[in-house]
Structure 1
Amino acid sequence: MHGMEGTARDPEPGPRPATSRHVAEVLAEVATISAYFEVETEPLESGWRPLTDLLTDPDPLSDRIAEVAKRLSTTEAQIAASIFFQGLAARLWSPVIGAAVTRELLVDLAPARSFWRPTPSGPIPLRVTHPAGWEITDPDRAAEPLYRAVVTGLLEPLAHTVQAIIKIAPGLLWGNAASALAGTVQTIARRRPELAARTVALGRELLSTEVLEGSGELVEPAPGHLFFVRRSCCLYYRLPAGGKCGDCALIDSETRGEQWARALRDTRGGP
Structure 2
Amino acid sequence: MAFRSATLAADIIWRTPLPSPESALATSVREKINELRPHLLDFIRLDETPPHQAKTLAQWTRPGELSSLLATYSDHIYRNQPTLPHENKPLISLWAQWYIGLLVPPLMLALLTEAQTIALSPEHFHVEFHETGRAACFWIDVRPDRFTSLLSPADRMEILITRALMPVVDALAATGEINAKLIWSNTGYLIHWYLGEMKTLLGDELLDTLRHRCFFAKQLSDGQDNPLWRTVVPRDGLLVRRTCCQRYRLPDVQQCGDCTLK
TM norm. shorter chain > 0.5: yes
Q: How many residues align?
A: 222
Q: Which residue of 1 aligns with 2:220?
A: none
Q: Which residue of 1 aligns with 2:149?
A: 136
Deviation digits for residues 66-85 of structure 1, max 9, x if unmatched?
A: 22222322721111110111
Q: What percent identity do the matched residue pairs reach?
A: 20
Structure 2 residue 77 is matched with structure 1 residue 65? no
TM superposition score normalised by structure 1: 0.69
Gapped regions of structure 1 (runs ≥ 5): 1-17, 222-226, 252-271
Secondary structure of the corresponding residue to residue 212 of structure 1: coil
RMSD across aligned positions (CA)? 3.0
Alignment of 1:99-248 (within 5 A): 99-120=110-131, 124-134=136-146, 136-137=149-150, 141-148=152-159, 150-189=160-199, 193-195=200-202, 197=204, 198-199=206-207, 201-209=209-217, 210-217=226-233, 228-248=239-259
Check conservation: 2:118, 2:142, Cα contact below 8 A.
no
Q: Evaluate the alpha carbon distance shift between residue 89 and residue 187 of structure 1 in structure 2; reply closer, same or farther with a 3 A threshold.
A: same
Check conservation: 2:91, 2:250, Cα contact below 8 A.
no
Instruction: State the shift of 1:28 in Å.
Output: 0.5
Q: Evaluate the alpha carbon distance shift between residue 105 and residue 68 of structure 1 in structure 2; reply closer, same or farther with a 3 A threshold.
A: farther
Instruction: State the shift of 1:30 in Å.
Output: 4.1
Q: Evaluate the alpha carbon distance shift between residue 98 and residue 200 of structure 1 in structure 2; reply closer, same or farther with a 3 A threshold.
A: farther
TM superposition score normalised by structure 2: 0.71
Check conservation: 2:234, 2:240, Cα contact below 8 A.
yes
Deviation digits for residues 188-222 of structure 1, max 9, x if unmatched?
A: 34xxx34453456424422234111111147896x
Check conservation: 2:112, 2:153, Cα contact below 8 A.
no
Q: Which residue of 2 aligns with 1:50?
A: 56
Check conservation: 1:106, 1:146, Cα contact below 8 A.
no
Larger Rg: 2
